[in-house]
Structure 1
Amino acid sequence: MDADQIPYRRRRIAISGGEIAGIELGPEERPLDILFLHANGFNALTYRSILAPLAKDYRILSVDQRGHGLTSLPADPSAQNSWYGFRDDLIALLDALDAPPLVLGGHSMGGAASLMAAAERPGAVKALALFDPVLMPATVSAEILRDTPLARGALRRRGQFASRQDVVESYRGRGAFKTWSEAMLVDYVQDGFTENTEGVGLTCTPGWEAANFSSPQGNVFSAFGKITVPIHILRAETGSTFNIGERAAGLPGNVRIETIEGTSHFLPMERPDLVRDALTEAASL
């Protein structure tokens, strides 16, 4: 069965302030194995075709973070001043799931949130597999972040289209989507847009996406010192957001970093095989 034909289930998990939405793949009778978090501006369904081949052996939950996809938690750009909220949402989700120790997988912002949450809930996590997680030097100030090309680009994004098909036609083969398969693009658009009176609009608003790009992460690096389980990081060769420079030499022995030749920040879309390998390895520990 092709990855885009593997069925998935919709899930909603209540936490304080609203519900976290997601998709689940794999045998329902199994305990949950893997919890996956997306990048800023994306959603859980975007990664379905990447994760689906693992569904034969593992039960996987991919969730929409606050302000993305179908999750109902409030997302006010004017109140966004760090990524600690994503950490806290993930901690609340882990508490609500009450599952055996899980593999946390995360791309970009999802990787940073996974690191910070694992440091606070060590008993809930068995391993981490992170794909070009965002980690920047603490010297990068909020003023610099507010004027990054990513933040400016997010604010310029077109937020309204006549239909989802129009979105797909507009995005196909362009910009960030050049390296995406058709299935990934269609899935991203499905939950990345919602119907309104004028057609369809972004579920992650340009203002929220830009606010996340502009916000200091918080002290993500300190999480490494609190986590004792294996951490496997796949880093992009070009345009990576995992930039810790000389501090890499001070990482503990449970951290393994690989730079993947020929990849950009969209590493999961470009090398889904390596994403699956890393998640499988982590789940088999």
Structure 2
Amino acid sequence: METEVQAVSWQPWQWQAKEGFWLRGVHTQPRGLPVLHFIHGNSYCGRMYEPMWEYLYPHFDLFLHDAQGHGNSDVGGRFVGWRRSAELAKEVWLAHRHLWPDVPHIGMGHSFGGVLTSVLGATNPNLFERLWLLDPILMPPRYLRWVEPLQRIGLYKLNPYSGRARKRRDHWPDHESAYTGLVGRGMFKGWSPQAMRAYVDHGMEQVEDGVRLKCPPSREAEIFGSYMPGLWKLLPKLEVPTDILFGQDSYPFLRESQQRLLQIKQVTMETVPGGHCFMQEHPEQTAQRLVQRCAELSLA
């Protein structure tokens, strides 16, 4: 099946949280199509997935929510936490979903955003008709048994993922040197050239002496140094049909979570080629899977 690619026309939105900072993002002009509400992964932003959006745009309207300190949203002081981030996403969506009356609303998220989207679905069954989660970071309960006490005494923030994030380079002379320096390295290994370009174009901002990551490494580290409490008590409460795509080369600990997810009635899972960011490695194939799934469910 060939999927049409089409340049996306975006409209900005912004919304002020009661904490004082502004959340921002973009959405497409409502066209009477099913709408995807999307939350990105840690340190990313919605438009960094633009190669995938170009394939999905002919079939869906899109609403991209950039979490605190990501994309064009304000850093807003300390990270408000996973649970509050999910609540804020709900508040923003409730303020905008009237733009898409009488069409299916699908909650979608990658990684960190996949967890937030699962929380939204588990706690608000009328918010979305369906959930699509892309490699959500669902730590198995066995891991959480040692994460929770470490979090209480303030030591979980010293985990290796958080430590590497703090050391992440965040400044380059220009966009081209950033692209050249990052392509094919670390978490970007296997990304398509278009996805790498979207990362540089939308994940960085122009500053006086070059370009800088929009998401500060300190914010990325805060998120890696925290977790969503009570997640495995929430997930069995899912009443919304939930489709999860896992990358076959993603984090090994997710395999244990997959076995537990099989026990939740509303969840279906599929393993797809690629790693944790398989949608950045294979944007067209990922879009094809979602379009086909939508057609099979008669959502389009």
TM-score above 0.5: yes
Residue among 204, 218, 221 paired with 1:193: 204
Give the SS at the match of 2:244: strand
SS of alignment partner, residue 222 of structure 1: helix
* Equivalent in the alignment of 2:213: 202
Matched residues in 2 for 1:102 and 1:18: separation?
A: 26
> Structure 2 regions of 5+ residues with no counterpart?
none
**1:257 equivalent in structure 2:** 269
Q: Please tell me whether the aligned partners of residues 36 and 105 of structure 2 are also in contact (alpha carbons under 8 angstroms).
A: yes
Counterparts of 2:289 and 2:66, CA distance in 1: 21
Aligned counterpart, 1:90: 89
Query: How far is 1:128 from its partner?
Result: 0.6
The alignment-based identity, stated in percent, is: 24
Residue 145 of structure 1: CA displacement? 3.9
Shift of residue 215, structure 1, vs aligned partner: 0.2
2-side partners of 1:39 and 1:284: how far apart? 28
Provide the C-alpha distance between the structure 2 equivalents of 1:229 and 1:163, rounded to a whole number of angstroms: 44
Given that 2:8 and 2:57 are in contact with CA atoms closer than 8 Å, whether structure 1 keeps it comes out as no
| Deviation of the 1:119 alpha carbon | 2.0
CA positional deviation for 1:256: 0.5
Give the corresponding residue for 2:7: 6
1:247 alignment partner, SS class: helix
- Find the residue that maps to 1:204 and give its secondary structure: coil
* SS of residue paired to 1:167: helix
Q: What is the TM-score of this pair, normalised by structure 1?
A: 0.87
Structure 1 residues 87 and 176, CA, compared in 2 at 3 Å: closer, same or farther? same
* Greater displacement, 268-277 / 231-240: 268-277
The 1-side partners of 2:37 and 2:290 are apart by: 10
Deviations 1:53-87 (A, max 9, x none): 1211221122211110111361425xx5x411221
2:30 corresponding residue in structure 1:
28
CA contact (8 A) 1:13 1:96 kept: no
**Residue 248 (str. 1) matches residue 248 (str. 2):** no
Distance 2:35 2:258 in 1: 32
Question: Is residue 127 of structure 2 the alignment partner of residue 124 of structure 1?
Answer: yes
- Per-residue deviation at 1:129? 0.8
Cα distance change, pair 24–152 in 1 and its aligned pair in 2 (3 A):
same
SS in structure 2 at match of 1:209: helix
TM-score, length-scaled by structure 2: 0.83
Structure 1 stretch displaced more, 162-171 or 265-274: 265-274
CA distance in 2 between counterparts of 1:87 and 1:248 reads 20
**Contact 2:71-2:215 at 8 Å conserved across structures:** yes
The structural deviation recorded for 1:183 is 1.5
- 1:156 counterpart = 2:167: yes
Rounded Cα–Cα distance in structure 1 between residues aligned with 2:77 and 2:298? 36
CA RMSD of aligned residues (A): 2.4
- Indicate if the aligned counterparts of 1:20 and 1:73 stay in contact, CA closer than 8 A: no
Q: Deviations over 1:222-252 (max 9, x none)?
A: 3323322210111122233634265334312
Distance in 2 (alpha carbons) for counterparts of 1:128 and 1:114: 7
Aligned with residue 49 of structure 1, among 43, 51, 54: 51
Range that drifts further, 93-102 or 237-246: 237-246
1:105-160: per-residue Cα shift (whole Å, max 9, x none)?
11100100001112222112010111110111231415374233321211111111
Residues 2 and 98 (structure 1 numbering): CA distance in 2 closer, same or farther, change over 3 Å? closer
Distance 1:271 1:140 in 2: 35
Once the two structures are TM-superposed, the CA of residue 2 in structure 1 deviates from its matched residue by: 7.6
Q: CA deviation at 1:24?
A: 2.8
> Which segment drifts farther, 204-213 or 188-197?
188-197
The one-letter code sitting in structure 2 at the alignment partner of 1:124 is L
